[in-house]
Structure 1
Amino acid sequence: MQSAWTANGASGATQNTVPNAFTLVDNLQWVKGNHSMTFGVQMQWLQDNLTSQATYSGILTMGYNANSTANFATGSTSLATNTSGYSYASYLLGAVGGSPSIALQPFSETGGRYNPISPYFQDDWKVTKNLTLNLGLRWDYFPPFKEVLDRWSFLNATGMNPATGTPGVLEFAGHRGADISCNCRTPVHTYWKNFGPRLGFAYQPDPKSVVRGGFAVAYSHAGGVGGRGGAGNGTGQLGFTISATAPAEVTTGASAGPSFYLNNSQYFQSIGLANTAFGGPGYTLPVPQGPSTASLTLNTGNYVSNGKFVTASSAPGYADPYLSGRAPEFVFYSFGIQHAITDTLTASADYVGSQSHFVAPGSSNIRGYWSDQLDPVYLAALGGVAASDGTPILNALATPANVAIAKAAMPGLNIPSVFVNSSTKATIATVLRAFPQYSGVSDTWGQNSANISYNSFQFSLQQRPWHGLSYMVNYTYSKNLGDDGTFRSGFAIPAGAMSNGKSYKMDRIERSYTTISMPQTLSAFGLYQLPFGKGAIGNDHFWVRTLAGGWQLSSIYTYHSGTPLAVTWGGCTAPGQGQCMPDINPAFFGHGSARKNGSWGKGITAKQLGSTIQYIDVNAFSTPATFGNATKTPVYKIGDAPRTAPWGLWGPSAWNMDASLQRAFQLTPERLQLVIRADCSDVFNHNTKGGINTAWGPTSTTFGTVGSASGNRDWQFSARVNF
């Protein structure tokens, strides 16, 4: 089949986002005695205008296949596309295959509106000559998303769906009547407690030392109170648009033919098949009706109606009333000492930490209930149960017989009868989800509920110019932990569903080093004026001043330790779960490190990257336990490997040094100066390895291999004239 032209990026060809920010700031400063006070307010009018497609329709994708140019199979009314027909020939004829559809929208642009107001107060109080306090308070009023004309819809999680009689139904924003709308501009509640205190002090116990500390709480725009995710269109516009679907192509019998022809050639005109319109001659485009009671059941399915199975589509986005209104919250704190060792050399040592809450995670299934996952409670109870044909009961169709088997294995199991039918195509696992009438749920803003903590020791040494030498050295030792990724399950996990037999609170098993954690970083940069020439060594010698004077050498050195590796597995069979993870192999304890074959990349060349040598022992991990052998296909339990750094596995560290040598020649006594310079990056031509393969498999030969290498020495020479 010919690829759709949208595969080359046309789906966003006319997408446009125009943000506007209008800000009013007013400050009143008042100095009274030892107090320097600031009273102020910041008011903003923020707009996020989004155009997905700048027309009254979406992107039209048309497929062309071999059907329209194929012969009938011998003695059959079916097309022989395996021996005849060519999709490109169908394209040349304009024979559109399948049943193409296009979204018709009554408007092409939506506009998000936010009007935050933030009053604040700050007092810099000089308590004594060597003690200063900084006291402040800011309050951020962050109202949630509103669309300028209330053109958005969302999932009402408690409203009853008319098609299934189960919770979960589309609802519109605005005042459109209590039967179809919330009679409000937004279902999200404004959070009124965004108070941000600021406390700081600076104390000078002696002329050469200063002690500083601080604490602050700050809030930012993201999620339902601004930022990029849904900032212009909220949780979506389902119910405002309508799909125009062309007639389906016919592939058997005398009436076999494409959906329609797009061909206006002279020949097609002569045979009466000329056409340039979507759907073919006589096809009438439907007219978008806008919000109505008929819209409430849009995308609803997974039930049988009039003997036919109704296929489900994605639910409207969910706007969590509480979490959507919570702005990302950051708590900062620090304490440090700075001491002047000499008049030009200063050292400082600081503890710096932060806590981040209500931030976006690295995965979208942090909340299992709202991301349409299957609660592991059902996995623990039914994972080892087989249907009458040996299929795992969770993967079996929700027929009356299979539902009876499931209820016998798990007394009290509640499956709404509307989803139980002999003609169903939905599985038991599907109908046990929170909203089985939909194929998926998008937790648009509620997923912004991850937590991250950062704690560090930071040391700095600064040398101001001294005998031609100046430099700065910075070292940081830190620990960065979070529950912001992987999410093998967004539910609390019962012991019966875990391979190690332990239970975990919601997302607790995922709390570990963040994937960007770098425990140690070191940077040093300096400049040295070579001690030759005028006023230095060789001052009295013409050739020394001419050849060796005026040169300066500078260099930058950086080092950072590797980031933690996240080992995953692709063989899980449990339905409705998140990221598949292996087990830590208990038989491997006592072997020491899971690393092998020396340092990363040892013994390989560039041609061998991604293969040949494994630097992680595949036996350090194992497949999770199963729920038994009652089913034809074993269902694996949830793996227990830590989200990151299992067995203390960290990626390669990296270091680099750049240097430059420069001299200025005075061409005239005052005005003209020639500067020549040589720069060298990666002075030591050090090679840094990366791309570690962390996709584990019990027989994998590429797991733990090095996939990339970077770094090469580079020289640059330059000259310039200053005047």
Structure 2
Amino acid sequence: QTAPRLTISSDNLSDEFGGVNSGSHYLHAWNSYQFYDDANWTHGAHSFKFGAGVEREQYNPTAFQNPGGRWKFADLTSFLTGVPKSFEAGLPNTVSPREMRQTIVSGYIQDDWRFRPNLTLNLGLRYEMATVLHDAQGKFGSLVSIFDPVAGTTAPSNLRCGTQFNASTAFGVTAQAGTSCDSVGPYYKNPTLRDFEPRLGFAWDPFRNGKTSVRGGFGIYDVLPLPGYFLLQQNQAAPFMIFKSIKGGALASGLTTLGGFRSGVGQPLLVNSTQSLLAASTIEPDPKRSYVMQWDLNVQRQLDPTLTLTLGYVGSHGVHLLMRGDDGNMILPTLTSAGYLFPLGSPQINQALGVIRYVYWNTSSNYNGFHVNLEKRFSHGFQAQFAYTYGKSLDDDSQTIAGDSFGNGLNSPMWFMPKTFYGPSDYDTRHAISINGLWDIPAPKSLGSIGNTALGGWELGGIFTINSGVPTTPIIADDPLNLGNTGADQFGLPNITAGCNPVNSNWKASNLNYINVNCYTLPTAPASMASQCAPFPKAVPAAPPAGQVYCANLLGDVSRNSIYGPRLVNLDFSILKNFPVKRISEVFNIQFRAEMFNILNRASFVPPQPGSGDGNSAIFAASGKPSGGSVGQLQEYATGTPSREIQFALKFVW
């Protein structure tokens, strides 16, 4: 149970090796006290609605961050030869719950104005603010800036806390950067004090016959900095919890003394060695207002008394959205003619600290979608609906709570250049079709009571869906860029050959090999940059194109989420039999249900994923060697589309 967690960052191996209790786990306790009051007032053509609300949030999470420790290996060879590249763990005696507190205050007013008999305007304004998140015991610590010099010094102040604290005294660890606070102050400057949100809308009957309706609206919706966003940000941050990491030569010499990386041998390295570094966190100290603008326009037409057609458009734009990453302590690049180059031998931006988790409000998003809906209301024993949506969602980063919220997304994109990763969202689904129906099978009334009981009350229902697949990104495994941010799931990007189709057109007949790995090459730079480039020792082919050199520390030109996975198709079917029991009441009914999910038993897959930097979209190892094996192959079933399932149930309705 206490065996440490082992991560092998290439060779398409999982990072879930280890004991039952080795991985991070959490205890949550959340109380939300809420008060709301609303009122309506009608005056002539105006119908006013107004109200206010107050919420008090109490969130008390306890985090056990890799309590068994986590050893990271560059590849399988390093694992087999016992040469780890880093070790990290949270020290158990430093674990304590956080007591996050926040108050949310809101109010609104809206006027539904009947401007004309066939035109109604909706005019509204909402205000919503949240107090700065704080800990009841002051157990918040944050670097004023990730660029600041060594923590633990007094000039300039760097590690700001909710209260003064000295970890070396409290926990008995070696005094070093991050073990004590440099200043006391609020977690961040409140960006919500001016969160006024206009809401506009209209409903228009152009032909004045009640059969056609044109509706539209616009609104601003603020994204408040709620406690849940900061769970992983604070629960391993110095000085109130000691989470340390060690790597490189210091790790190798320590292992020689302790004799291997078996259970329990890593923690003494973290406690006793001054070369083991504390984990910290940083948050943008003066964030801008984070909000989403949304707008829509719909035209609805009644084709007959039971059939309605709706055509619509919806759009949104997110501004100053949150980016949260697992480790931003890395080397910074320079922009060259060949792309972003990470300088050889450059230090990480904060050499005094190890893992630095970060929150910045520096990303944006855009969504545009068109939808068609045809609905037949229940009549003659039948109802049905057809819906189709074409949507396109783009952003700089889709992660929020954690740096790896989506398995198909890139973990902890580089916070200092988010626009470089602007592309399809991790959850982008271009096409979505849904068809559902219910048929109340008629029974002849001439069969008598026994015949009606046997043949009456039957219903058939079904839901058929087709969705486009979600996107993914081909990567280079491990840390070819030599960023050194071992707290994140590292990756590099390859180059793509122009004009090459990255998806195998015959993947169904080729053992589910979905990605065409032959479309990708290792990053290269002009030969004039050879002195600035690190080689790929196992590059294939061994020689790069003429006039070029392989450049491991160059970010390739593959775009984020540039490959879409296969579509998802599913059919659910149900058979229902109703047994009315009039003796009890007019509406009492016993319903037998036979429900069949994925009745076609069709396999739907998610695309090959970067995962934790070691997933099966890693085209190359960090050494430049092609990963081979199952890389590019479809292996994981899509969530919500299991193999065929059939269930039976009785439902009592009264």
TM-score (normalised: structure 1): 0.64
| 2: CA distance, partners of 1:172 / 1:669 | 70
2:530 partner SS: coil
Task: Verify: 1:437 aligned to 2:352, yes or no.
Answer: yes
Task: Verify: 1:335 aligned to 2:323, yes or no.
Answer: no
Q: In structure 2, what is the equivalent of residue 450 of structure 1?
A: 363
Task: Verify: 1:623 aligned to 2:522, yes or no.
Answer: yes
1:476 partner SS: strand
| 2: CA distance, partners of 1:164 / 1:184 | 17
Q: What amino acid is the match of 2:140? A: W
| Alignment CA distance shift 1:619-1:203 (3 Å) | same
Work out whether residues 214 and 299 of structure 2, in 8 Å CA contact, stay in contact via their aligned partners in 1. Answer: yes
Task: Verify: 1:654 aligned to 2:568, yes or no.
Answer: yes
| 2: CA distance, partners of 1:674 / 1:104 | 57
| 1: CA distance, partners of 2:418 / 2:256 | 52
Q: What amino acid is the match of 2:284? A: D
Q: In structure 2, what is the equivalent of residue 694 of structure 1?
A: 617
Q: In structure 2, what is the equivalent of residue 566 of structure 1?
A: 473
1:562 partner SS: coil
Q: In structure 1, what is the equivalent of residue 402 of structure 2?
A: none
163-172 or 554-563, which deviates more: 163-172
Offset at 1:221? 3.3
Q: In structure 1, what is the equivalent of residue 376 of structure 2?
A: 463
Q: In structure 2, what is the equivalent of residue 374 of structure 1?
A: 331
Work out whether residues 139 and 240 of structure 2, in 8 Å CA contact, stay in contact via their aligned partners in 1. Answer: no
Q: What amino acid is the match of 1:455? A: N
Q: In structure 1, what is the equivalent of residue 84 of structure 2?
A: none
Q: What amino acid is the match of 1:567? A: P
Q: What amino acid is the match of 1:434? A: I
Q: In structure 2, what is the equivalent of residue 80 of structure 1?
A: none
Unmatched 5+ stretches in structure 2: 6-17, 71-88, 166-179, 245-252, 260-266, 398-408, 485-489, 537-550, 609-615, 621-625
Matches within 5 A, 1:195-344: 195-206=196-207, 207-222=210-225, 225-230=226-231, 233=234, 236-238=237-239, 311=275, 313-314=277-278, 316-323=280-287, 326=288, 328-344=290-306
1:601 partner SS: helix
2:110 partner SS: strand
| 1: CA distance, partners of 2:185 / 2:572 | 60
Offset at 1:563? 1.3
Work out whether residues 280 and 353 of structure 2, in 8 Å CA contact, stay in contact via their aligned partners in 1. Answer: no
* CA displacement 1:670-711 (0-9 Å, x = unmatched): 868665544333333333344534221346243322224565
| Alignment CA distance shift 1:251-1:43 (3 Å) | closer
Q: In structure 2, what is the equivalent of residue 261 of structure 1?
A: none
| Alignment CA distance shift 1:12-1:242 (3 Å) | closer
Work out whether residues 518 and 561 of structure 1, in 8 Å CA contact, stay in contact via their aligned partners in 2. Answer: yes
Q: What amino acid is the match of 2:517? A: V
Offset at 1:47? 1.8
> Based on CA coordinates, which of the two structures has the bigger radius of gyration?
1
2:29 partner SS: strand
Q: In structure 2, what is the equivalent of residue 681 of structure 1?
A: 597
Task: Verify: 1:507 aligned to 2:418, yes or no.
Answer: yes
Work out whether residues 233 and 357 of structure 2, in 8 Å CA contact, stay in contact via their aligned partners in 1. Answer: no
| 1: CA distance, partners of 2:230 / 2:567 | 34
Q: In structure 2, what is the equivalent of residue 526 of structure 1?
A: 437
| Alignment CA distance shift 1:162-1:252 (3 Å) | closer
| 2: CA distance, partners of 1:705 / 1:127 | 60
| Alignment CA distance shift 1:217-1:674 (3 Å) | closer
Matches within 5 A, 1:171-186: 171-174=160-163, 182-186=183-187
Greater percentage in strand: 2
Q: In structure 2, what is the equivalent of residue 594 of structure 1?
A: 502
2:277 partner SS: coil
| 2: CA distance, partners of 1:336 / 1:474 | 14
704-713 or 655-664, which deviates more: 704-713
Q: In structure 2, what is the equivalent of residue 119 of structure 1?
A: 107
| 1: CA distance, partners of 2:256 / 2:61 | 45
| 1: CA distance, partners of 2:340 / 2:148 | 31
Work out whether residues 459 and 474 of structure 1, in 8 Å CA contact, stay in contact via their aligned partners in 2. Answer: yes
Offset at 1:341? 0.3
Offset at 1:167? 5.8
TM-score (normalised: structure 2): 0.70
Unmatched 5+ stretches in structure 1: 64-99, 244-248, 258-277, 280-298, 302-308, 366-370, 385-391, 395-427, 493-505, 605-612
| Alignment CA distance shift 1:438-1:138 (3 Å) | same
| Alignment CA distance shift 1:328-1:7 (3 Å) | farther
| 2: CA distance, partners of 1:568 / 1:516 | 19
Offset at 1:581? 0.8
| 2: CA distance, partners of 1:582 / 1:523 | 37
Offset at 1:216? 1.0
Q: What amino acid is the match of 1:486? A: L
Q: 1:17 aligns with which of 14, 28, 32?
A: 28
CA RMSD of aligned residues (A): 4.6
Work out whether residues 155 and 317 of structure 1, in 8 Å CA contact, stay in contact via their aligned partners in 2. Answer: yes
Offset at 1:641? 0.6
Q: In structure 1, what is the equivalent of residue 561 of structure 2?
A: 644
| 1: CA distance, partners of 2:186 / 2:356 | 22
2:214 partner SS: strand
1:680 partner SS: strand
* CA displacement 1:179-207 (0-9 Å, x = unmatched): 96545344534443312111111111232
Percent identical pairs in the alignment equals 22
Work out whether residues 583 and 624 of structure 1, in 8 Å CA contact, stay in contact via their aligned partners in 2. Answer: yes
Matches within 5 A, 1:63-212: 108-157=96-145, 161=150, 169-174=158-163, 182-206=183-207, 207-212=210-215
| 2: CA distance, partners of 1:17 / 1:488 | 24
1:558 partner SS: strand
1:683 partner SS: coil
| Alignment CA distance shift 1:131-1:614 (3 Å) | same
Q: What amino acid is the match of 2:574? A: S
2:301 partner SS: strand
| Alignment CA distance shift 1:327-1:22 (3 Å) | farther
Q: In structure 1, what is the equivalent of residue 462 of structure 2?
A: 555
The number of residue pairs the alignment matches comes to: 543
| 2: CA distance, partners of 1:721 / 1:252 | 69
| Alignment CA distance shift 1:625-1:19 (3 Å) | same
| 1: CA distance, partners of 2:201 / 2:340 | 55
| 2: CA distance, partners of 1:531 / 1:383 | 69
Instruction: Pick 1 or 2: higher relative contact order, CA cutoff 8 A, min separation 6.
Output: 2
Offset at 1:569? 1.6
| 1: CA distance, partners of 2:459 / 2:518 | 54
Q: In structure 1, what is the equivalent of residue 414 of structure 2?
A: 490
| Alignment CA distance shift 1:241-1:583 (3 Å) | closer
Q: What amino acid is the match of 1:442? A: R
2:351 partner SS: coil
Offset at 1:567? 1.2
Offset at 1:561? 1.2
Work out whether residues 424 and 561 of structure 2, in 8 Å CA contact, stay in contact via their aligned partners in 1. Answer: yes
Work out whether residues 375 and 491 of structure 1, in 8 Å CA contact, stay in contact via their aligned partners in 2. Answer: no
Q: What amino acid is the match of 2:294? A: F
Task: Verify: 1:32 aligned to 2:21, yes or no.
Answer: no
| Alignment CA distance shift 1:454-1:659 (3 Å) | same
| 1: CA distance, partners of 2:390 / 2:565 | 17
| Alignment CA distance shift 1:620-1:25 (3 Å) | same
Offset at 1:664? 3.5
